[in-house]
Amino acid sequence: MDEVRERGVTDFRTFLDVHPEFVFRCMSEIRVIDVNQHTLDLFKAEDKAMLLNRLAEVFRDDMEPHFREQLVDLWNGKLFQQREVVNYSLDGELLHVHLQFSVFPGRETDWSLVQVALTDITARKKAEAYLEFLGKHDILTKLYNRSFFVDELNRLERKGPLPVTMIVADLNGLKVVNDTLGHAAGDALLRRAGEVLREGVQKPHCAARIGGDEFVVLMPATPEAEGLQMIADIEEPRRGQQSVLSGIDPVLLPRPCDIACDRAPRGHRQAGGQADVRGKAAALRGQRGGPARGSRYREPAELTSR
């Protein structure tokens, strides 16, 4: 980095923003002198020679933003660092590690010799990611849950982008299936409904299960026409497909879902500031007696399985 200073650069972070290739250049110049057995086990290397000859497979891709911050800290004179970073094992597995980086005494000016201690925290990071997933998703259908939906609806009310189209769907007959065939059969139908919506709804749109048999698709920056097309896209692949409950009397299967489409969700809040989800759903469906005044209504679409 001496050559960068010689060029008169004073804002190193901005320099890296303009020249991201400099980070990869520095990554390619890393030279490892020695490692212990634990490091070989961590990176799944048979011996030291194998690891040292394949460092390019370890220092790559998602490591870049972390290494970038290391360079910024070194530029600012921080010779002892601790941070969570990403490396890769030689079989391609992504590793989350806690890194301790210290420059040896006497090498403070050129950073020519440093010691790096790595602690594998991959299991912890996976557990944290799973807990975050549970906080935002319905575990049965793998769709977003009511809590995420309420937060997202409130965010769209505050910040947009508008217009916002909402599709509301009920899985009719779920209680009958639960009562006659058991909750395992009902769960199978709910899982299949989740599969259908996950396949049909792509970002920036999102699908959520907000009640026992109730689902919602939020479509920001989307006019009604595109919402109606989304309904058709979700409905069409299910035509003629067998039910997930194969071999079951069709009379016992759920009837088609009620699906309606409305514009931006402004004004649909409870006094406490939470989105009135069920009120919105009821308004869209007209209490199941037909479309609500001012809403757009579509004939029911089937959420059945292949």
pLDDT, tens digit, for every residue of 248-278?
A: 444 434 344 444 444 544 444 443 333 444 4
pLDDT per residue over 8-39, tens digit each? 999 999 999 999 999 999 888 888 999 999 99
Question: For residue 125, what are its two tokens?
Answer: 């990071």
What pLDDT is stored for residue 278 in this prediction?
47
Residue ranges in the chain modelled with pLDDT below 70: 236-306
The number of helix segments (H) and strand segments (E) in the chain equals 13, 8
DSSP state of 169: E
Structural domains in the chain, sorted by start: 2-127 (3.30.450.20), 137-301 (3.30.70.270)
With a threshold of 0.85, does the pTM exceed it? no
Rounded to whole angstroms, the Cα distance separating 80 from 16 reads 21
Residue the block writes with tokens 């520095």: 26
